[in-house]
Copies of this chain bind each other. A is one copy, B any other.
């Protein structure tokens, strides 16, 4: 794999292609300038990689500029120099008295930089529903840049990310090897009398360790392992309580390599599973097979959902939530990319190197079962990233 400047996992050519694709979408949307706040999009366009998204920061893309401009906290400028492919003059810090202040706001500093570089008064896109681009961010920008026309650019850069390069797929393939190890570790660790937190410890360690060849990175979501009645709640996190006999546990994890995620979900039952659960697991496995059969270039995202839904309805089951989403590069709070959703209304045409977490879970009132596969659309069909038994595990 080609490695870029500053140990980014990609070369300059890849960053140039990403920027070109972004500018093209901006042009189609009639935008001269775009403020990118989503940390994954910031990384995608510049290489920037640090846990600094708890303060306001952004990358500015402008049609006529050869490079984006990184704007963030002064304290993080060194990190930007260390991790991005940007020239030093395109890394700008704001003073620390803007941080969580009642009198100054970092978007004032952003507006100043835009004004100094002649980028105000243009058609300016913002990621209006992006994590970390707050209501106040927009209010401050509007008040500081009165002549500027603001547009919601939506998930414009996220859509550029939806089709991966081969270099990105290579990282996700490594992440898949890590995901398999994490899941095996989880299934080994979860047992009657073991504290949930101790299983979480083993899982977290496996995620960071990765393989002997390459290390793991932190996942954008912590290990989720709802157990017993908790399996009806997909997003609750671990407690101290030990795992009980005769209960199921859903395990949702992701292997991560250089911020690229490959998630996986399995369910493990301690004891003899009730027939309704082992039956549901079989239905889920059947539904995955049906979904995979429907996944290929030219098909629509909703086709996967339809195949899954048809399978479970035949068995009298029903799930009213989406059964998957685009996945790859990300930061907390989500490893989903907020573009493709596997649901009946999503008409996205599937293309080679789209990568999706196909997550068909059934959550009923007091129990649930979930088994998932991260998939890649290939030139002719689909493949799963991981090679891991697709079944209800019983211990």
A interface with B by C-beta (< 8 Å)? 7, 49-54, 74-76, 78-79, 82-83, 95-97, 99-103, 105, 126, 128-139, 152, 154, 195-198, 200-210, 214-218, 221-222, 224, 229-230, 232-240, 320-322, 325, 332-334, 336, 338, 341, 343, 345, 363, 365
- Across the A-B interface, the 5 shortest Cβ-Cβ residue pairs: A197-B215, A79-B233, A54-B334, A135-B138, A204-B204
Question: How far, in whole Å, are A203 and B332 apart by their CA atoms in the complex?
Answer: 19
Q: Is the CB of A75 within 8 A of B363?
A: yes
Q: Is the CB of A51 within 8 A of B237?
A: yes
- Give the shortest distance, in Å, between A389 (CB) and chain B (any CB): 25
**Given A75-B321, A96-B321, A214-B240, also A134-B139 (CB < 8 A):** no
**Given A95-B320, A99-B341, A343-B97, also A236-B79 (CB < 8 A):** yes
Q: Is the CB of B237 within 8 A of A209?
A: no
**Contacting A338 at CB < 8 Å: which of B51, B100, B206?**
B100
Q: Is the CB of B239 within 8 A of A96?
A: no
- Give the shortest distance, in Å, between A158 (CB) and chain B (any CB): 10
Q: Please indicate the chain B residues that have their CB under 8 angstroms from the CB of A129 in the complex.
A: 105, 134-137
Q: Is the CB of A222 within 8 A of B233?
A: no
Q: Please indicate the chain B residues that have their CB under 8 angstroms from the CB of A105 in the complex.
A: 129
Q: Please indicate the chain B residues that have their CB under 8 angstroms from the CB of A152 in the complex.
A: 135-136, 139
Q: Please indicate the chain B residues that have their CB under 8 angstroms from the CB of A76 in the complex.
A: 233-235
Q: Is the CB of B208 within 8 A of A201?
A: yes
- Give the shortest distance, in Å, between A317 (CB) and chain B (any CB): 15
Question: How far, in whole Å, are A152 and B102 apart by their CA atoms in the complex?
Answer: 12
Question: How far, in whole Å, are A348 and B234 apart by their CA atoms in the complex?
Answer: 40
Question: How far, in whole Å, are A222 and B208 apart by their CA atoms in the complex?
Answer: 11
**Contacting A78 at CB < 8 Å: which of B233, B238, B332?**
B233
Can you sample 26 A-B contacts with CB below 8 Å? A50-B236, A51-B236, A51-B333, A54-B336, A75-B235, A76-B235, A78-B233, A79-B234, A82-B230, A82-B236, A96-B322, A100-B338, A101-B341, A102-B154, A128-B139, A129-B136, A134-B134, A138-B138, A200-B218, A201-B216, A202-B205, A204-B205, A204-B207, A214-B240, A215-B240, A332-B333
